Structure 1
Amino acid sequence: MKYTQLGRTGLKVSRLVLGTMNFGPQTSEADSHAIMDAALDAGINFFDTANVYGWGENKGRTEEIIGTWFAKGGDRREKVVLGTKVYGNMGPEGEPPWPNYDLLSALNIRRAVEASLKRLQTDHIDLYQFHHIDRRTPVEEIWQAVDTLIQQGKILYTGSSNFPGWKIAQTNEVAQKRGSYGLVSEQCLYNLAERRAEMEVIPAAQEYGLGVIPWSPLHGGLLGGAIRKEREGGGARSTSGRSSTALADTKVREQIQAYEDLLGKHGLEPGEVALAWLLGRPGVTGPIVGPRTADQLESALRAVELELSDEVLTSLDEIFPGTGPSPEAFAW
């Protein structure tokens, strides 16, 4: 495994981030533990989760599964850089939403941290991430809550997720005025087929020293050989949901077909190429991979060592040109 610094921090993290969203809803606790063991054995030390994972009446379940894995000992917790998130509603299920169980008020941040620590069976969270912007809570209030938790030793660093570039700038400018350390990472939707983050989010992250952590690096399976799997009758995820809807669009299907044809010509696996491409992008710390099986984890690991030729990179830009940085993307 290769490692890098997380943004401007001294924290060293793996170039692949283990995403855990499938743990519970799609992957059993036993299989989830096996995947985490395999990831650790492969050198992946950066694990990502969120308090709402498990979803619906099972929200919080993913954190609980990670917690029972930590409880097995063997330096599991000590070896892991653990990130979780706050924003989604964690109030009682099956009744009207009760106030202050979601968003980023100081009250909910404090409540959410304590609940996550309990589920995760740990005394601190390494990277506490804001899952979405909160347009109603003043940034000063958020940092007041964060600084208190840092002083208490309950969190070490903070990151954002799904923030626009202007919000990254605003949040870190307020942090600087307060003498707070500020955001150290941004977790955003970014992949070959979805490159809008290159307009302002990634430049803002680089300007303020945030590591970029792309989620959905295979764009819901679309970049993982979706057409080939459709033809072969395999890959349930690749032929359903977002991928299936996208492939119904003629333009998208032609684009993905060109992608798969290009990689077939070079003897490359689509999913591995999509990850390798992200690993080579400026500002990227590491993409989040969310394996449901050990085989999927093995495929992701191969991408770390994959070097894409200039010819392939040029062809990928032709197929997925992106928008380019702003303001040139929409002006001159």
Structure 2
Amino acid sequence: MKSEHSERTADTTGQLAGGGRTDAATEVFVAHRNLLFTVAYEMLGSAADAEDVLQEAWLRWVGVDLGTVREQRAYLVRITTRQALSRLRTLGRRKESYVGSWLPEPLLTSPDVAEDVELADSVSTAMLLVLETLTPTERAVFVLREVFDFGYEEIAEAVDKSPASVRQIAHRARTHVAARRPRGIVSPAETRDALDAFRRAVETGDVQSLLDILAPDVVLLGDGGGVKQAVLRPVVGADKVARLLAGGLGRQATATLRPAQVNACPALIIRLSGEIDTVVTARVDNGLITGLYAVRNPEKLSHMGREVALRR
């Protein structure tokens, strides 16, 4: 099954192709489309902005003489990266006035994404939040090198730096990420077990059961975007988080909490009267939940109706 993103881009590129003039360009672009979307999404943390970047990349790609392109995949990634860098700087200014905590846009991902352990880890909410602490260039270099295994010379062309500079940036970014990333890759089963226990506790309003599954220093972040009610600042500590959640959404008569695969990790989708209200992802360490991320901003839930194909 094609993802909604693939269909949308295929439709758009088909319309732009006009009279078959760019059939070859369209075919190449669509063939690499899921990869390009993944690159853009990892750099931006926003599916909507990643889609816009792909449209801009397509407009540049369709004007290229394919006969002059030696490596089409690398060329497409290069123009996508450049567009994403420009968008990332704009997003940085936008986030400065964002109401409350900014969280990455959740994606309903296909099961095969979770099978690629490194890719799954790189698109997890916890990891995307770590990437938010990098500069735009550091983020681009880290993503292209550590996730997609591009060479330093290829990355240098994408970020308009020398290969020597890219090596230094990559080292700096790796050190920065290593100090902040989750301590290790947690198995999906461990995360699923923790979320199952969390769900049962929330549904019953059992504070003690919540305390049993939450790490003492757990952090809860909520993203309502100023549209939906959400905690405006991080809530820190098991006792505070447990008491806040015990009387929350899970106790409402029309609320349902169901497991899902979000950003290649086990997650929970909370529906009110059948409509998606909140997407909850978690960071788990040593069997306990150390981070809870609740996205309620309706604009960030628009891609939750259909699976998204991510690729390396």
- Give the TM-score, by structure 1 length: 0.27
More RCO (CA 8 Å, sep 6+): 2
- Give the TM-score, by structure 2 length: 0.28
Determine which structure has the larger helix proportion and give its number: 2
